[in-house]
Structure 1
């Protein structure tokens, strides 16, 4: 049964269509990042970029180099769409996009991480075997079929994303719709719908649909009787998200994934009318079957474990953020923080009160006070800055408090901890993050 599920050959029209959509969308994402100023705000203007911890060696190109960098990625997207030097193009894009993702996290987005995963997966897919310039240059490459595991890899990856996103929403502030209320406050100025989005009954609809849609959309698309309805609901849901939340290409990428759920004949009839249809053939196991199974098993075990790793840390991930990233916890909360950075010269005991605005952008400043890893990295940054003046310093974040979902501020980081002297642990709780009040035992 496993051999039939994974290694039966099926029509590849869905993969070819997705390659074209994917290439166009990532190209728009890259050129759009230049046009909207995203590249300048996050990779050029800031003095310090707040890369992922342990990836400080990845630094943006100097001057206007990142404009050329994103231009090359945009060009790779076009090459992917037309199937020109496909393998080299998709690998180049994957490496460059992954490096960009790791260079800065101020503008962190789960969708950027999903783009890494899909790009990585596409590196192994035979997506250039039809309707491509590669086939025109070498007709021997052409094929109208693919192994069924190509489809099921995409489907299972999407199932993981959506189900984990649904489960993550099943917590108090989402279930009482207060999170939705907070999210909608910033949309009040929207033309025509701004006031409507402030209504309680709208919050209930958005909150309930958010959970149910994420939980059921993949099964509904897989089941033929509900497929068309699910597709149109998906279309409405993602277009709503695109208009209201303005989250880049993700809604359209999600719509593009739909090609893997419809019958190949339907996709071929809509997009490739002249494409030769594929007729079923006997199952012929690939030469490296066991290696493929090992790779798939390893990949999906990682994908299943990463989103739940936060349970290995003390306290609530909504509070301490440990294990939050790469776990499909999307639009779950808002965080505001405040405090003061105090730098103490260890030799002279001279005290400096640091205003982060003198060092970082406004967006980075908000992150520094609200997220523990940002606070730690800023302390390390200050340590290096003062070291250039031959000063050995301690760095403290005093009066540190945060508010989650606009609730009352609570003490967050221990003001007695020298953050400059602390180490960062990827798999261990940091005791200088104070426990949240709702997890403290009642007296």
Structure 2
């Protein structure tokens, strides 16, 4: 095991990835400002749906979030250049993780993946060559890295892709229903909009998506199929970038392929000026037993977390319990109607909440999910309590899943002020589709 993990190998793939990675995370942060994402998601809303239990994580007031993301972008450039590498990467990791946890109206599995990659990059010696750190401190320079670096990233990406493939094995994906719904919103695209409405395109997306996610890692690892799989990956990720406009992540996925090619090939293509490390030395660190324990815990969590919904009562597509951080990417479409009614117990009169006074249009979509209903109820409950007004709160939420007729998500006659949120089990106040009231 020590030889497998701690054998020293050439670090060219890691150095090349650091440069791509730093550039991409800088573009992610500054792009969030340039595209208006920061304004729409963190500045305009007066209330954000943070991850439950983390209410202390709130956006900075005024223009503070512009400076927040601007600073993140600067740290990304520092990572690319290998300048104050550890500090810059740890700072970016903390800032990005806090931004991720302080809102979930714009939740994306890729944002969670970036957290995992940031943690990985905090651990690895990616600044030990072709960096400003080695220019300032030549004694840092090294042309090798431990073999666990490559094994770690390959294992992590295998988990991501495999679970993404397995999650697609459900009826609405397999019969092309969801692909059709997904492409319906792309009909206005120039040149390709009409093409994306064709049934054969929907079925191609359906089965190509399953097979690509399932096979990409094994076929990149196998020499006879590696280059073909790389070019298929280029097509796949560029298609996703153009059609779904999901930021840096198609390009991050392509950058990660440097770990699948022979180190000599990456060295020859990108870093000819660097000495190639070809020794077979094994350097076992003093804390090796603890590090092995960390790897065991890390990969156990990564394997278990995506399947937790199987141990929670109900359909995850409907309840959303166990959906996040599970590589369940672009699998379902939800639409519906929402209204909240507050009954003043002093007067016996009821009034409907003007959602637009509290939430942006994007945030109102979060109310189609149970945790969003619970969090918004807590906000209203606190607001009325601050006015010393005893109140009952009711929600009429009808949800359509993948184009089906809308059904009630919660009982419209249930006073929501008395419900609790269970972090680990099914919340019984969520109606199943079979229980939904007509």
**Which TM-score tier does this pair reach, normalised by the shorter chain?**
over 0.9
Whether the 8 Å contact between 2:344 and 2:391 is mirrored in structure 1 is yes
Hey, what does 2:129 align to over in structure 1? Answer: 130
Secondary structure in structure 2 of the residue aligned to 1:337: strand
Per-residue displacement from partner, 1:291-319 (whole Å, max 9, x unpaired)?
Answer: 11000000111111110111121111001
Alignment length (residue pairs): 436
Q: Structure 2: any 5+ residue segments left out of the alignment? A: none
Further displaced range: 302-311 or 337-346: 337-346
Q: 2:407 aligns with which of 406, 410, 421?
A: 410
Per-residue displacement from partner, 1:36-71 (whole Å, max 9, x unpaired)?
Answer: 110000101001011111011001111000000000
Whether the 8 Å contact between 2:419 and 2:429 is mirrored in structure 1 is no
* 2:384 pairs with 1:396: no
Hey, what does 1:315 align to over in structure 2? Answer: 314
Hey, what does 1:381 align to over in structure 2? Answer: 379
State the 1:420 CA deviation: 2.3
State the 1:421 CA deviation: 2.1
Hey, what does 1:62 align to over in structure 2? Answer: 61
Residues in 1 aligned to 2:157 and 2:77: alpha-carbon distance in whole angstroms: 24
Hey, what does 2:266 align to over in structure 1? Answer: 267
* 2:146 pairs with 1:147: yes
Residues in 2 aligned to 1:286 and 1:12: alpha-carbon distance in whole angstroms: 18
Whether the 8 Å contact between 1:10 and 1:280 is mirrored in structure 2 is yes
Hey, what does 1:116 align to over in structure 2? Answer: 115
Scaled by the length of structure 2, the TM-score of the pair is 0.98
Hey, what does 2:103 align to over in structure 1? Answer: 104
Residues in 2 aligned to 1:406 and 1:191: alpha-carbon distance in whole angstroms: 25
Per-residue displacement from partner, 1:1-40 (whole Å, max 9, x unpaired)?
Answer: x233211111000011111100000000100000111000
State the 1:210 CA deviation: 0.3
Per-residue displacement from partner, 1:157-196 (whole Å, max 9, x unpaired)?
Answer: 1001000000000000000000000000010011111101
Residues in 2 aligned to 1:223 and 1:292: alpha-carbon distance in whole angstroms: 28
State the 1:415 CA deviation: 1.7
Residues in 2 aligned to 1:84 and 1:339: alpha-carbon distance in whole angstroms: 50
Q: 1:435 aligns with which of 429, 432, 438?
A: 432
Misfit runs of 4+, over 3 Å: none
Secondary structure in structure 2 of the residue aligned to 1:123: helix
Q: Structure 1: any 5+ residue segments left out of the alignment? A: none
* 2:423 pairs with 1:426: yes
> What does 1:6-405 correspond to in 2, within 5 Å?
6-368=5-367, 370-398=368-396, 400-405=397-402
Residues in 1 aligned to 2:282 and 2:95: alpha-carbon distance in whole angstroms: 37
Residues in 2 aligned to 1:272 and 1:413: alpha-carbon distance in whole angstroms: 59
Whether the 8 Å contact between 2:186 and 2:193 is mirrored in structure 1 is yes
Scaled by the length of structure 1, the TM-score of the pair is 0.97
Whether the 8 Å contact between 2:18 and 2:126 is mirrored in structure 1 is yes
Residues in 2 aligned to 1:343 and 1:432: alpha-carbon distance in whole angstroms: 18
Whether the 8 Å contact between 1:315 and 1:436 is mirrored in structure 2 is no
State the 1:283 CA deviation: 2.2
Further displaced range: 263-272 or 80-89: 263-272
Residues in 2 aligned to 1:279 and 1:339: alpha-carbon distance in whole angstroms: 63
Whether the 8 Å contact between 1:10 and 1:147 is mirrored in structure 2 is yes
Secondary structure in structure 1 of the residue aligned to 2:339: strand
Secondary structure in structure 1 of the residue aligned to 2:190: coil
Whether the 8 Å contact between 1:16 and 1:128 is mirrored in structure 2 is yes
State the 1:345 CA deviation: 1.9
